Structure 1
Amino acid sequence: MSLMRLAYASEATFEAKPVEKGVEPHVARILMTSRKNNAKDQLVGGLYYGNDRFFQYLEGEEDAVRRTYDRILKDDRHRNIVTLIEEPLKSRTFSNWSMKYVPLSRDVRAFLDDQGLESFDPAAFTSEQCEKMIELVRNSSQEQNLSTRDDPKSVGDAPQVLSSGMKTGLIVAGVVLVGALVIGGTML
């Protein structure tokens, strides 16, 4: 029973659609599938999507991490997949997240600014930048500004129209709606 961690970067092959309920629709489908599969395999980790690129971090039993990564390598929604970190792990560092999703937030913009990066391109991250991104994903709050594109206008200090409780309720309703649509679509 050996644990490992793995981080990768990839480019999306799909053309991003307008954000619905805070998440790009293709990414919402990836999240739903990942959460189901990862919970079954006892994997934990996080996902960030921005600038048509993915950064994903996984940790868990080595065999389960490798099986999951093999599926990702064959997934036609990803191209130019680059392994950033692949190494043994002494103990889990994420808890209770089969796949945490990090929406675009001030934290990500601050990370890019701090690193002198103009855009999100995780395939070019140094190992130190990978570790900082993993830490950002691990510590991010789900009640951040919801957007999935690197649009500088979406991360400014715009006045908040909805309370955090209303945002959370809308997010939950959106996830349930997308789930119902996906399940209903598979029954046709």
Structure 2
Amino acid sequence: MTDNSVRLRPLREAELERIRIWRNHPEVRRFMYTQHEISADEHRNWFQRANDDAARHLLIAERRYADTASVPFGFVNLHVVDSDASRAIWGFYLAPDASRGSGSALGEVALTYAFTTLRLHKLCGEVLKNNAPSLRFHQRLGFQQEGVLRDHYFDGKYFQSVICFGLLQHEWQSQSGECI
């Protein structure tokens, strides 16, 4: 059941600094493959490459309030890695000051976008094994654990395993009640 006050929209170039600040926050950065602080130039170059790639969907999650304009609270990156199989991988993060429940709202609108707008068959996610909140988040959204990439990522100090998740369109549809 999607919250009607929450929506996804394309990321605008003018918002790059805002999401760079979110992305560089220590509580976000520590669970990413790229854990160094991202410079403005590096971020702008990433945006240009991703924005020029039709397989990438860079999206802002925002909540509409009756008395104010919409307030952005999260970022979603959907990358269609196999168009023939209608399969994508996702990444996401919340603003450090996002209110409680924002993760669930972001997850719901992102999955709706993935399976209805993009008409994906499968959405995949990768989570560092030490990221317990994201592991629980994927499970709550109905993702199934599909594998473990042992010692797959080196954070500069330690090797970490990566947990691979997948959610099929029909699984999402049966749990969400959405009709396509």
TM-score bracket, normalised by the shorter chain, equals: under 0.3
Is the helix fraction higher in 1 or 2?
A: 1
**How does the TM-score come out when normalised to structure 1?**
0.26
Is the strand fraction higher in 1 or 2?
A: 2
Higher relative contact order (CA 8 A, sep 6+): 1
**How does the TM-score come out when normalised to structure 2?**
0.26
